[in-house]
Structure 1
Amino acid sequence: MALTDTAARTAKPREKLYRLTDAAGLCLEVTPSGSKLWRFRYRFGGKAKMMGLGAYPAVTLAKARERREDARRLLADGIDPTTHKQEEKRAQAAHVHTFEELAREWYAYNSPRWAPATAAKALQYLEGDILSVIGQRPLQEITRPELVALVRKVETRGALNVAGKVRQWLSQIFRYGLAKGSVVSNPATDLDVVAAIAPRTKHHPHVPLSEIPTLLAKLEASKCDPMTAMAVRLLLMTGVRPGELRHAPWEEIDLESATWTIPAVRMKARRPHIVPLPTQAVAVFLKLREMTGSYPIAFPGRNNRERPQSENTVNKALHQIGYEGRQTGHGFRHLLSTELNSRGYNRDWIERQLAHGDQDEIRDTYNHAHYLPQRRQMMQEWADSVEALCTGANVVAIRSVKS
């Protein structure tokens, strides 16, 4: 009769070793010490042999039967299952797992969750700053001091943000290895304790609002591409990030409703972002559409119309008209934030307009498209005040809005 789990569980040790048989060569060996070991009895090359299949109850009766069937399939192919098992163990012991193997597996597991740009940049730093140094090192031999030295090398070239990412990725890779059983410890913990002290954060420079008319006038009078001047005006009037503007396809921009909807895949925070367009921004887009409306991207590159405008185009133009170190494309966001906050607008409206994350994740998800009417009015008033300043009209102070 076939063995049952109840019989295996209740089997008691005796003075001498004995076996409870199942079928097709499987049996449970009960030792005087109480151990219960699965054995597979078979014949190979005319000789009786026995193979261990694990200990009960860690290996259940069902699992033992699976292992027996695996062994019987090997026998059917003319392979001794015991010899096969020994060869697999030797091959496994002979293979030295390198850090690169684990790192590549970690990257393949995580990269689908990241934005394409994030995944590409992560791979660039992974290969350039980590794998090039310790990629071929055996996993079990990597020590904390050599990881500290690796990060120090990144810090010495002034790339402190990259060094922070490297510390983070090293820790995550070893944590992944711990979960897989590839390593027994994480030598990358607490690397931040010895991190180089970052210099005081320098915000993207921007000129005061009073200088904006002069800046725009110089830009219009310069020999820069008209599209570049339009890009500057749109950055000023919308507060979007330069990269969000450069890559904007026309299909995102609805000029009839004066609304620009940026999908989550293109946003830094991975949430969709709705940008209300003041009438001045709509006018710029209408003029731009006459120039680039036949292309998928609103700001196509000069040499390749299928690709977006270069990321350096706006900053280069500002540099050429004398604003190097004083104004950047990203700096218009800081100008907008400073001005709107000083005028007393609701902070939540401003943060949503700038697509900043909310520390309260639930609140952030709920509010991702909120305040649109309020933001539309706020941004129209902002654009009107900039226009009035540029035309020399009397600028009426915008009334403080608290809610």
Structure 2
Amino acid sequence: MRVKITKRLVERDLPKDVSTETWIWDSEVLAFGIRLRPGRRPTYAMRWKDDSFRGGNGRDRKMTIGPVEQIELVDARAIAKQRFGELAAGDDPAEKQRERKRSGVTVADLIKEVAETMEAKGRAPRYVKDFKQQMRDHVVPTIGTRFVRDVTATDIDRILAKLARRPALHNHVRAGLSSVFTAALRGRFRPDNPVMGSTKAEARHRERLLTDTEIDDLLKALDANPGQNADAMRLLWMTGSRPQELFAMRWTDVDLEAGVWTKPALTVKQRRTHRVTLQAAAVALLRRMREEAGEKSKSVFVFPSDGRHRHSEAGHLTTIKKFAAKVFKAAGLRDVRPYDLRKAFASRLVASGADLRTVMSLTGHTQVAVLLKHYAHVMDGKQKEVLEKVFGR
């Protein structure tokens, strides 16, 4: 039977019991399908003849990709395409798989390869940096020296259990591990992904929103501590930008006459060019900074690095955490981060009744669901007002 294998078919429509070996062939990738056997778990697998690419009718060959409940369909299909290409080129993917198993590769080695692949594909430097740090701190000490083929689901659960009280980090590490073992599948280091089946932590979204009084206190504290870092915090509040996007701002990205900031795709989280209109106060602040920098400034960045920090090779500011902590304390604010200035900006747009498309165009959100997830509690405050306006007398 040849059909387009779908997620629904895999999860709901596979035969529960078969009396003999049965194959469901995929209509998109030749030689790829789901193998069903009596008393065994369904598996993604490949089947071909030894000399089928030379017009012959040679020995029947089979190769398992992995159990359907442990491998995502898109990953299994990608692996099959790669191996089908090897068959067409005259290679033997089954023999390569056996060679990989014999030689072995450690988790630490594979993490390094995955990071290099991320960099080669143009992933954001901050993303790659965070991946390396998370793997170095939470994965390598536990299973770094283990062969990839020997890692079990229990090993993965043990790593994630240590992060149970830090749901955001738990999910980031889990995603990183999944990338590593998906690469192991593609590289034929093992037939399954031990991360599949592990549970994502339920992230607790921060609902801390700065009040108007707190913003006023913060601005006064910034006035008392002038400089580049203070200007960066002011612009975080005025633009609602993500900190890393703001820090990488270049003078050529800003049209002060039109009041428009064009964020290059390389610096934006969604990897898309983002044009955003600046409010008058932000334009005035940037004009003042441009004048202070003067024509002698050699940096292309609005917030150039001072060269004293370990990340100064980026050429621009990369963090203001220490300065922000000092200013927040001076303003009497607790449990606040620089990122909360973005949330303060967006929450006021949402509470003003601005349509979601406008809010998304200003903040750079690309999915309504994500915006609502973070600001639903702000919109709740508009319910009574809307009900009274529509139904009240």
Q: Identify whether the pair has TM-score above 0.5, normalized to the shorter chain.
A: yes
Q: Distance in 1 between matches of 2:353 and 2:329?
A: 35
Q: Distance in 1 between matches of 2:159 and 2:137?
A: 11
In structure 2, what is the equivalent of residue 356 of structure 1? 365
Instruction: Please list the CA deviations of residues 285-309 of structure 1 after superposition, one character each: whole Å capped at 9, or x if unmatched.
Output: 1111122241322123455484326
Q: Contact (CA 8 Å) 1:243, 1:311: kept in 2 or not? A: no
Q: Secondary structure, in 3 states, of the residue corresponding to 1:173?
A: helix
Q: Does residue 54 of structure 2 align to residue 60 of structure 1?
A: yes
CA shift in 2, pair 1:328/1:185, >3 Å: closer
Residue 313 of structure 1 and its aligned partner are, at CA, apart by: 5.2
Residue 210 of structure 1 and its aligned partner are, at CA, apart by: 4.2
In structure 1, what is the equivalent of residue 21 of structure 2? none
Residue 353 of structure 1 and its aligned partner are, at CA, apart by: 0.4
Give the letter aligned to residue 217 of structure 1: K
Q: Distance in 1 between matches of 2:343 and 2:323?
A: 16
In structure 2, what is the equivalent of residue 215 of structure 1? 218
In structure 2, what is the equivalent of residue 288 of structure 1? 289
Residue 115 of structure 1 and its aligned partner are, at CA, apart by: 0.9
Q: Distance in 1 between matches of 2:100 and 2:229?
A: 60
Q: What's the Cα RMSD here?
A: 3.5
Q: Does residue 302 of structure 2 align to residue 298 of structure 1?
A: yes
Q: Distance in 2 between matches of 1:319 and 1:273?
A: 30
Deviates more, 1:119-128 or 1:106-115: 106-115
Instruction: Note the 1:144-159 alignment, pairs <5 A.
Output: 144-153=153-162, 155=163, 158-159=165-166
Q: Secondary structure, in 3 states, of the residue corresponding to 2:331?
A: helix
Q: Secondary structure, in 3 states, of the residue corresponding to 1:260?
A: strand
Give the letter aligned to residue 180 of structure 2: I
Residue 248 of structure 1 and its aligned partner are, at CA, apart by: 1.4
- TM-score, normalised via structure 2 length: 0.61
Q: Does residue 332 of structure 2 align to residue 332 of structure 1?
A: no
Give the letter aligned to residue 216 of structure 2: P
In structure 2, what is the equivalent of residue 108 of structure 1? 116
How many aligned positions are there? 278
Give the letter aligned to residue 178 of structure 1: L
In structure 2, what is the equivalent of residue 177 of structure 1? 184
In structure 1, what is the equivalent of residue 169 of structure 2? 162
Instruction: Note the 1:32-51 alignment, pairs <5 A.
Output: none
Q: Contact (CA 8 Å) 1:219, 1:229: kept in 2 or not? A: yes
Q: For structure 1, list consecutive stretches of 5 or more residues without a partner in the other structure.
A: 1-54, 65-87, 361-399
CA shift in 2, pair 1:309/1:105, >3 Å: closer
In structure 2, what is the equivalent of residue 234 of structure 1? 235
Deviates more, 1:162-171 or 1:251-260: 162-171
Q: Distance in 2 between matches of 1:242 and 1:90?
A: 47
Q: Which has the larger radius of gyration?
A: 1
Instruction: Note the 1:375-394 alignment, pairs <5 A.
Output: none
Instruction: Please list the CA deviations of residues 302-356 of structure 1 after superposition, one character each: whole Å capped at 9, or x if unmatched.
Output: 5548432632255234324233326543222222222222222112101210111
Q: Does residue 148 of structure 2 align to residue 139 of structure 1?
A: yes
In structure 1, what is the equivalent of residue 247 of structure 2? 246
CA shift in 2, pair 1:284/1:127, >3 Å: same
Q: Does residue 255 of structure 2 align to residue 261 of structure 1?
A: no
Q: Contact (CA 8 Å) 2:104, 2:149: kept in 1 or not? A: no
Give the letter aligned to residue 300 of structure 1: P
Q: Contact (CA 8 Å) 1:232, 1:314: kept in 2 or not? A: no
Q: Distance in 2 between matches of 1:345 and 1:133?
A: 49
Q: Distance in 2 between matches of 1:104 and 1:332?
A: 35
What percentage of aligned pairs have identical amino acids? 24
Instruction: Note the 1:68-79 alignment, pairs <5 A.
Output: none
Q: Distance in 1 between matches of 2:235 and 2:177?
A: 40
In structure 2, what is the equivalent of residue 319 of structure 1? 328
Give the letter aligned to residue 338 of structure 1: S
Q: Does residue 91 of structure 2 align to residue 96 of structure 1?
A: no
CA shift in 2, pair 1:314/1:248, >3 Å: farther
Q: Distance in 1 between matches of 2:108 and 2:343?
A: 41
Q: Distance in 2 between matches of 1:144 and 1:347?
A: 42
